[in-house]
Amino acid sequence: MPRTAYVNGRYVPHGHAQVGIEDRGYQFADGVYDVVPVVKGAFIDEDWHWERLERGLAELRIDQPVNRKTLSMIAHRIAQRNMIENGIVYVQVTRGEAPRDHKFPTKPVPPALVVTGRHLTMPDDFSQARMIDVITGPDLRWARPDIKSISLLPNVLAKQAAAEAGAYESWLVNANNEITEGSSANAWIVHRDPESGRVILRTHQSDQAILKGIVRTALVALAEKHQWAIEEQPFTVEELMSADEAFQSSSGNMIRPVRTVDGRTIGSGEPGPVVQEILNAFADYVSAQSG
């Protein structure tokens, strides 16, 4: 079945979708995006995705092209028209089309809205996740990765470096030798406090250094129910290498346990008991929304 896209008020064949050559997203990467996972026809954590998109637009001073209710309707219609049972809906908003000038347009222009969808293979059971190999590399992104900007060139280069190394993901390292996050996921380690013996999940705090992932947000929300101890603070590369377990979270791939980092095995090299507990809890969480 031919794919359908939504572009600035019209549903069009995906292959014929177009925006103007002077759209500021094309010229300057002047825009934001979000990706909503679809599982068994249900949008997972939809409102959190719209909230993050709206926050990014506000930070960049781009008007919302439509209200949230209308955007949700468009996104669901794209999923339906493309018969997406499992996959993603991609939403992108740019400042719009205007003569090329670094400054904002002097005359009001409508923001550009593009919505597309595609099928993805989803596991039947989210408690069973494929392990991944990770490399580390320098965090070369701009100073505001908390905004889900369409300017992703450093992420692209980091992801390509991982692929060329035979790995799945790059975890990014700042000037203090701390892991910020992955090129397309939030990074986590599991360690045991040497004094109390408590098992602790650690991930970088939600500030301007990372994108506040939606699955990350869900895990923090689940922590109280499942009595997980979470520390939101950076961890170093050395702490990562000595961690009992490690995993990453993202809307595109949910939760992925880490097997190796830079070729060194983390823990036993198999999904550990804590990550497996997290996988089980998150599988129940997704099932509650998708039926």
Q: SS3 of 135, please?
A: strand
Beta-ladder partners of 33: 92
Q: Phi and psi for 18 in degrees, rounded to 5?
A: -145, 150
Flag whether pLDDT at 211 surpasses 80: yes
69 is catalytic: no
Tokens of 135: 């490399």
Active-site option among 69, 103, 148, 159: 148
What percent of the chain is predicted at pLDDT more than 70? Answer: 100
pLDDT at 1: 66
pLDDT at 191: 87
Sheet holding 42-43: strands in order across?
10-13, 4-7, 112-119, 87-94, 31-39, 42-43
pLDDT at 291: 79
Least confident range from 109-113, 145-149, 188-192, 231-235: namely 188-192
Least confident range from 118-127, 134-143, 174-183, 279-288: namely 118-127
Are the C-beta atoms of 211 and 146 separated by less than 8 Å? yes
Mean pLDDT of 272-283: 95
**pTM tops 0.85, yes or no:** yes
- Rounded distance between C-alpha atoms, residue 217 and residue 254, angstroms: 12
pLDDT at 194: 77
Mean pLDDT of 111-130: 92
Encode pLDDT of 46-78 as tens digits. Answer: 999 999 999 999 999 999 999 999 999 999 999
Are the C-beta atoms of 189 and 235 separated by less than 8 Å? yes
Tell me the average pLDDT of the chain. Answer: 96
Flag whether pLDDT at 132 surpasses 70: yes
Position 122 confidence tier, pLDDT thresholds 50, 70, 90: confident
Q: Which fold has domain 4-119?
A: D-amino Acid Aminotransferase; Chain A, domain 1 (3.30.470)
Alpha helices (runs of H) in 84-229, residue ranges in sequence order: 153-164, 214-226
Q: SS3 of 114, please?
A: strand
Write down the domain spans for the chain.
4-119, 132-290
Position 125 confidence tier, pLDDT thresholds 50, 70, 90: confident
Helix (H) or strand (E) holding 248: strand 245-250
**Secondary structure, 3-state, 237-281:** HHHHHCCCEEEEEECCCEEEEEEEECCEECCCCCCCHHHHHHHHH
Are domains 4-119 and 132-290 of this chain identical in fold? no
Q: Which CATH superfamily is domain 132-290 in?
A: D-amino Acid Aminotransferase, subunit A, domain 2 (3.20.10.10)
Contacts of 233 by beta carbon, 8 Å cutoff, 6+ apart? 202, 204, 205
Tokens of 262: 């830079």
Q: Can you say how many angstroms the Cα of residue 218 is from the centroid of all Cα atoms in its chain?
A: 12
- Rounded distance between C-alpha atoms, residue 26 and residue 125, angstroms: 39
Flag whether pLDDT at 22 surpasses 80: yes
Contacts of 120 by beta carbon, 8 Å cutoff, 6+ apart? 86, 87, 88, 252
Q: For residue 53, which amino acid is it?
A: L
